[in-house]
Amino acid sequence: MAADKAYADDYSLVRVPENERRPWFIAAVEWIGISYAATAVLFAVTLVGGLSYWDMVAACLIGNAIMAMLFIGYGTVGAREGLPNPVLASYFLGKNGLGLLSLAVVLSLVGWFAFQSEYMAIGLGEMIPALKGYKPYVALVMGLICMTTAIYGFKALAALSRVAVPVFLAWMLAGVVKALLTKPAGELLNPVPLGTPISLNDGIMVIIGGMAAGAALSPDIFRYSRPDVGSVAKASAVYGFVTALQSPLLALIVNAVGKAELGPTMAFLGPIGILMLFVLGWTTNDNNVYSASLAIKPFMPTVGKWKIATVLGVVGSILAALGVIKYFLAWLTLLGNLMPPVIGVGFTDYYVLPRLGLASRIRTGTASAWHLPGVVSWLAGAVVGIVVGTMKVPVASALVAIIAAGLIYLAWSAAGKR
C-alpha cells in the first residue's frame, strides 16, 4: 500500500525503485523536450537581436558546454541516489536552508511558467490577429492547459516530449531549408546584430540563465535513469549537442524573416507555426510546474503533489495574464547567477569531500535544521557570480559562481573537521 501511494505521488519524497528506472535516452528526450520549445525560438530571437551570427554561435557552444557538464555532474547524483533535488538539497543545506532554495526555485519556475504562457499568447496573437486584443485571456488559458500534464506527473511529461521533439525538429529543419532558399548566405549570417547589441558574456548568460533552474533541478528527471554515470553522460551529451545546434539553426530563420520577433519567426512556415508554438510551449511549461511542485512537497508532505501543481499552475497563469514579459532579460540574468551555485555545493559534497576523507551529507543521509556551510557557500557563490557579471571580463559568471560556491564549501567543511 505504501509503495502504491509513493507511485501515485511520483516518488516525490522517496527513492525511485529500480524497476521504475528508464533507459538513458528517455531522460535525453525529456530534457530536449524541455529545451526545444517556443522559448528556444525566443532565445534565438534574443541572441540574433544582440549579437552577430558567429558571436551567437560562440555563446551557444560555450553556454551549452557548461550546462552539459552541470547536468552530468549533478544529474548523476540524482540517478545514483534516486532522489529529487529537494531531498538531496535538504542534506547539504539543511531543512531550513532547503526552504530558502525551494522559495528561489518556486519563484523562478512559476515566473518561467508565466513568461512562457505569455509568450505563447503573444505569438498566437501575432499569427492570429483576431486574438491579439485578448492577450491576457489567451495567456491565462495557455497556462491552464500547460499545467495539466504536470498534474499527472513524470510519465505524462515524457509522453508529451516524445511526440513534440520530432515534430519540432522537422519544423526547424524545414524552416532552415526555406531560409537557405529565400536569402543568400551573406544575409543569413548577419555580421551585425538585428537590434540593440549585447556582450558575448550576456549572450552566454542567456543560454545559462535559460537552463539554470533546469540544471539545478536535474535530479528530478535523472532519478528515473539507471544509476550509473554512463547513462547520465550519454543523455547529457546528446542533450548538449542537440540543444547547441538549435539557436544557430533557428537564427537562420530569424535572419530570413529580417526582424528579431517571435511571431513572424514562428509563422515563417505558415499556419503550422501555430501548432508548433502551442505544443512546444506546453512541453516546457509543464516541467516548470512539475519541478516547482516537487520543491514544495517536502514542506507539505500530506498534500498530494497534483494539488500543489494545480495551485502553482493557476498562480502562474494569473501572472501571465497580468503581463510579466517585460522582466524577461533581467530574470534570466538573476537565475543564471542564483541557481548554478547550488550545483557547486551539491557536487562538492557528493564527489569531492569523500575523496578527501570528509563525510558527504548526501551519501550518509545527514539532515539538520540548518547546514550553514552549504547555505552560505551557495549565497556567496551567487554574489560572486553577480559581481563578475558586472565586470567586463571574458568569462561566464555562472561558471565562476559554481566554482566559488564549491571552493567555499570545501574550505569550510575541511576547517570544520580540523
Is a pLDDT exceeding 80 seen at residue 376?
A: yes
CA 271, chain centre distance (Å):
28
Per-residue pLDDT tens digits for 22-34 = 777 777 776 666 6
Locus of grid cell 516525490: 12
Is a pLDDT exceeding 90 seen at residue 354?
A: yes
Q: What is the mean pLDDT of residues 281-285?
A: 72
In this prediction, residue 158 carries a pLDDT of 60
Top-confidence range, 59-73, 145-159, 245-259: 245-259
Mean pLDDT, rounded, of the chain: 81
Closest CA relative to residue 89, chosen from 78, 98, 79, 80 = 98
Please name the helix (run of DSSP H) or strand (run of DSSP E) that holds residue 2, with its range, or none: helix 2-8
Is a pLDDT exceeding 60 seen at residue 7?
A: no
Per-residue pLDDT tens digits for 326-341 = 776 677 667 777 888 9
Is a pLDDT exceeding 70 seen at residue 128?
A: yes
> 350 falls in which pLDDT band (50, 70, 90)?
very high
Residue type, 80: R
Is a pLDDT exceeding 80 seen at residue 130?
A: yes
pTM exceeds 0.75: no
Is a pLDDT exceeding 80 seen at residue 389?
A: no
Is a pLDDT exceeding 90 seen at residue 405?
A: yes
As a whole number of angstroms, the distance between CA 163 and CA 159 comes to: 7
Is a pLDDT exceeding 60 seen at residue 291?
A: yes
Question: Would you state the cell numbers that stand for residue 253, as one nine-digit string?
Answer: 530563420
Q: What is the mean pLDDT of residues 294-301?
A: 77
CB 45 within 8 Å of CB 252: no
CB 53 within 8 Å of CB 187: no
Locus of grid cell 514562428: 266
In this prediction, residue 222 carries a pLDDT of 81
Count other C-beta atoms under 10 Å from residue 52's C-beta.
18
Q: What is the mean pLDDT of residues 230-256?
A: 81
Closest CA relative to residue 47, chosen from 244, 179, 267, 197 = 197
In this prediction, residue 179 carries a pLDDT of 92
Segment among 59-63, 99-103, 262-266, 303-307 with least mean pLDDT: 262-266
CB 122 within 8 Å of CB 135: yes
Segment among 86-100, 154-168, 268-282 with least mean pLDDT: 154-168
Closest CA relative to residue 312, chosen from 16, 122, 102, 170 = 102
Please name the helix (run of DSSP H) or strand (run of DSSP E) that holds residue 236, with its range, or none: helix 229-257
Segment among 60-64, 150-154, 405-409 with least mean pLDDT: 150-154
Is a pLDDT exceeding 80 seen at residue 8?
A: no
CB 207 within 8 Å of CB 60: yes
Segment among 7-11, 179-183, 206-210, 371-375 with least mean pLDDT: 7-11
In this prediction, residue 178 carries a pLDDT of 92
In this prediction, residue 259 carries a pLDDT of 83
Segment among 263-272, 330-339, 340-349, 362-371 with least mean pLDDT: 330-339
Q: What is the mean pLDDT of residues 226-234?
A: 73
> 4 falls in which pLDDT band (50, 70, 90)?
very low
β-sheet bridge partners, residue 22: 225
In this prediction, residue 410 carries a pLDDT of 95
- 3-state DSSP assignment of residue 22: strand
Residue type, 118: E
Is a pLDDT exceeding 90 seen at residue 98?
A: no
- 3-state DSSP assignment of residue 338: helix
